[in-house]
Every structure is written in structure tokens, then in C-alpha cells.
């Protein structure tokens, strides 16, 4: 029976090396952006890129959470929408191979794809080795996504019986634009007393959806996961502050969050079981605010090969620990430890054996 049900965008992550001229050619100029399907197909057929050597895996925040949770021994399921193409097979095989029960609706559109493009990456001094082993420098990586069929998932695809036995639901923050789908899931879960975990997804999403997220938190049992930049954006948007939140160091962000953001989050959570708000601080650990209390779980910093999927991995481990009855501090501590493991690989392409120790910890 499913313990953790994850709902979101089904995309295949493709980790690839390209040079600056190709980035310019295809307009991959931002840290994160959408591209049309025609451009995505042109990139896939680019003769100067060896896609046979590229790392390809299931992607999208909710799918990543389901994959890591399954590796941690949880009964995890994922609901999404794909096309009928090779990318759909890659997506499904990667999740099922990790132990996830996959429930996919099918669309005439092509399966979503997200290119994680390392621009002239030299993380170990050898471009060929980088391509072979997926060793990406996160500071040089740009993301170009074409969601395709992923956007065709609707509220009609989520039936109430899919929540039978579920302990928590995960919603990909990138589906917040699809309000009928989001509200349908929130209502179904709330009727059964099931909390929904919502990842803020991006600073842009937070700036445009902060009030909506706050409203949901007042009406439904929610976990809200944000990284440091998103937490600052949430605070500034709710407070209608014009302060910039992107020019701080990680240490400075942590200090500002503890000083300015946490008091607001304490008010939001005071006297209630939910929402439980989690701020992921990367190499500086995590802050959990619940019931008007603040829990600060520190960690140690390592030099990552790739940060892609680390936040989703933290969410998976945190929720797995919560479902297993661990304290919020223990949940955050496990999230930190498991996320640190994912920093060694591109995306969530980690061997399940690497997480066996953590899976055993959850059984105690």
C-alpha cells in the first residue's frame, strides 16, 4: 500500500556538456528557462553533442522525491503524464527500477525534457571524462526545460481511491499554475486528514504565488519546503518589502532568515500542527518552523559535483522520517545526511546501495 504519493511533472533530465557557442545558438542564456519543443528536438539532434554518453534519468521534483523515498524503503508512488515515446520509457523504467509504483496517463504530446547543460565544464579537468561520468560544476549549469506532456495532467486524472492508505502527498511546486489540479488534490487529501507537502520550486514561483501558498496553509494541512532564496522571497512578498534577496552569501542568508523570516513563520505556525515550514539551507543545514517553534539542524559543507536534485532528496528523506514517526529535528538531520550523498552524482542518479544505511535507520 502506498505511503507517500507524489504528483507532478514527468520530465526526463538530460545531463550534457555544451560549449558557449551552442548555448548561444539555442538561446540557453538563463540559469533556468523554458524552451519550445522544436528547440528541444534540435538540441537532441545536435550533431556536435554525443547524447549517447549523456546521463538520462527521470526528473521533476515530485518524481525525484518518489525515487529517493523508495530507495529509503518507503512505499512510494508517482502520478504524472508522459507521451508515447522513448523518453517516456526512460522515465518510467528509471522510477520502477528504483521501486516506485508509477501511474502514468498518456498524451499525444511528447514527454517532457529538461537539459542540465554544463557550459564548458571542467570539474575534473577533462571534458570527455565529465561527459562520461556526469561530473558537473553546479555554478556553470543552466537548465532548459520543455515540459511537453507533463502539462497535460489534470484533476480528472487524480481519483480519491488513489489516496487509500497514503500518509502524505507530495505536490510539485511547478504545478501551482494549474489551480484546479492543486485544489482538487488539496481537497481530497484534507478530507482524509492527509498532509500535503508543497515545494516552492523557484524564487519566481514564490514571488507570484506567495499569497496563494499562505492561503492554502491556512485551509489545508501542509508541509512547505523552501530553499533560502525562496524563503527570503516569501518573506519579502508577504511583507510587501522591496528588499533584494539574491545578493547574500549563504551565511548571510541564514542570518537574515533567522533574524527576519523565522519570526514571521512562527506567527504563521503558532498554535497549530500544520503548516510545518522547512527552509533548506544547503551546506548550512535546515530550519524547521512548526507550532510556533524553530528547530535549527546544522550540517557540514562539502564541495558538490552537482546540486541538482539535492533539495528534492532532502524532502524525500524528511518526509520518510516523519512518516516513520521521527521528531522534526531527526527528520531534518536525515534530510541533511541523505542530500549530502546526492551531491556526488548528477541529479538523483545514485545507486540504491548508497542509501541502505539510511533505510535501516528509518526501520528503528
Which pLDDT does position 126 carry in this prediction? Answer: 36
Which pLDDT does position 132 carry in this prediction? Answer: 34
DSSP secondary structure, 312-327, as one string: HHHHHHHHHHHHTT--
**Residue 124: pLDDT over 80:** no
Which pLDDT does position 246 carry in this prediction? Answer: 58
Q: Are 226 and 280 in contact (CB under 8 A)?
A: yes
**Residue 54: pLDDT over 90:** no
Q: Are 310 and 343 in contact (CB under 8 A)?
A: yes
φ, ψ dihedrals at 12, nearest 5°? -100, 125
φ, ψ dihedrals at 313, nearest 5°? -65, -45
Among 207, 264, 248, 260, CA closest to 230: 207
52 phi-psi bin (left φ>0, alpha ψ -120 to 50, beta other): alpha
**Residue 121: pLDDT over 70:** no
φ, ψ dihedrals at 194, nearest 5°? -95, 125
Which pLDDT does position 307 carry in this prediction? Answer: 73
Residue 275, burial from CB neighbour count under 10 angstroms (0-12, 13-18, 19+): buried
Which pLDDT does position 122 carry in this prediction? Answer: 37
Peptide bond into 275 cis (omega under 30): yes
Residue 59 is placed in which grid cell? 526528473
Which pLDDT does position 114 carry in this prediction? Answer: 95
The strand pairing partners of 106, in sequence order, are 82
Q: Are 202 and 225 in contact (CB under 8 A)?
A: no
**Who wins on pLDDT, 121 or 213?**
213
Which pLDDT does position 241 carry in this prediction? Answer: 80
Which pLDDT does position 133 carry in this prediction? Answer: 32
Q: What is the pLDDT of residues 294-313, one digit of tens each?
A: 999 987 666 656 677 789 99
**Residue 324: pLDDT over 90:** yes
Which pLDDT does position 136 carry in this prediction? Answer: 39
pTM listed for this prediction: 0.90
| Helix, strand, coil in percent for the chain, rounding step 5 | 45, 20, 30
Q: What is the pLDDT of residues 246-263, one digit of tens each?
A: 577 888 899 999 999 999
CA atoms within 13 A on the CB side of 170: 36
**Who wins on pLDDT, 348 or 315?**
315
**Residue 140: pLDDT over 80:** no
The strand pairing partners of 103, in sequence order, are 79
Residue 329, burial from CB neighbour count under 10 angstroms (0-12, 13-18, 19+): middle
**Who wins on pLDDT, 364 or 318?**
318
Which pLDDT does position 139 carry in this prediction? Answer: 44
**From 26-30, 125-129, 241-245, 341-345, the region with the lowest mean pLDDT:** 125-129
Q: Measured between alpha carbons, how far apart are the two ends of the chain, in Å? A: 20
**Who wins on pLDDT, 32 or 68?**
68
Task: Please tell me the distance from the alpha carbon of residue 24 to that of residue 30, in angstroms, as a whole number.
Answer: 11
4 to each of 76, 181, 308, how far by Cα in Å? 5, 18, 22
Among 167, 156, 237, CA closest to 197: 167
Amino acid at each position: 500500500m502506498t505511503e507517500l504519493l507524489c504528483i507532478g511533472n514527468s520530465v526526463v533530465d538530460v545531463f550534457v556538456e555544451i560549449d558557449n557557442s551552442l548555448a548561444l545558438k539555442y538561446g540557453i542564456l538563463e540559469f533556468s528557462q523554458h524552451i519550445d519543443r522544436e528547440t528541444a528536438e534540435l538540441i537532441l539532434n545536435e550533431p556536435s553533442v554525443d547524447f549517447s554518453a549523456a546521463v538520462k534519468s527521470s526528473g521533476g521534483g515530485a518524481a525525484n522525491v518518489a525515487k529517493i523515498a523508495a530507495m529509503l524503503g518507503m512505499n512510494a508512488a508517482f502520478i504524472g503524464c508522459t507521451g508515447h515515446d522513448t523518453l517516456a520509457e526512460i522515465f518510467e523504467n528509471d522510477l520502477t527500477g528504483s521501486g516506485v509504483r508509477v501511474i502514468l496517463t498518456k498524451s499525444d504530446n511528447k514527454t517532457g525534457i529538461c537539459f542540465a547543460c554544463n557550459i564548458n565544464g571542467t570539474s575534473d579537468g577533462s571534458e570527455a571524462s565529465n561527459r562520461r561520468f556526469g561530473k558537473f560544476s553546479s555554478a556553470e549549469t543552466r537548465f532548459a526545460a520543455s515540459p511537453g506532456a507533463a502539462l497535460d495532467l489534470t484533476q480528472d486524472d487524480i481519483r480519491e481511491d488513489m489516496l487509500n492508505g497514503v500518509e502524505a502527498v507530495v505536490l510539485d511546486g511547478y504545478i501551482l499554475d494549474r489551480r484546479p489540479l492543486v485544489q482538487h488534490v488539496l481537497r481530497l487529501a484534507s478530507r482524509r486528514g492527509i498532509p500535503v507537502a508543497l515545494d516552492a520550486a523557484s524564487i519566481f514561483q514564490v514571488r507570484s504565488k506567495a499569497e496563494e501558498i499562505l492561503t492554502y496553509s491556512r485551509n489545508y494541512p501542509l508541509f512547505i519546503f523552501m530553499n533560502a532564496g525562496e524563503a527570503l522571497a516569501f518573506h519579502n512578498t508577504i511583507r510587501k518589502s522591496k528588499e533584494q534577496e539574491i545578493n547574500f552569501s549563504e551565511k548571510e542568508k541564514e542570518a537574515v532568515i533567522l533574524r527576519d523570516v523565522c519570526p514571521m513563520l512562527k506567527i504563521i505556525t503558532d498554535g497549530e500542527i500544520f503548516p510545518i515550514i522547512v527552509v533548506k539551507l544547503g551546506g548550512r543545514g535546515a530550519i524547521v518552523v512548526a507550532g510556533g517553534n524553530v528547530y535549527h539542524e546544522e550540517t557540514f559543507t562539502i564541495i558538490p559535483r552537482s546540486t541538482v536534485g539535492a533539495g528534492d532528496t532532502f524532502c524525500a528523506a524528511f518526509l520518510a522520517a516523519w512518516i516513520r514517526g521521527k521528531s522534526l529535528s531527526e527528520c531534518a538531520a536525515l534530510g541533511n545526511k541523505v542530500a549530502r550523498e546526492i551531491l556526488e552524482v548528477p541529479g538523483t542518479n545514485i545507486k540504491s546501495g548508497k542509501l541502505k544505511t539510511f533505510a535501516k535507520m528509518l526501520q528503528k
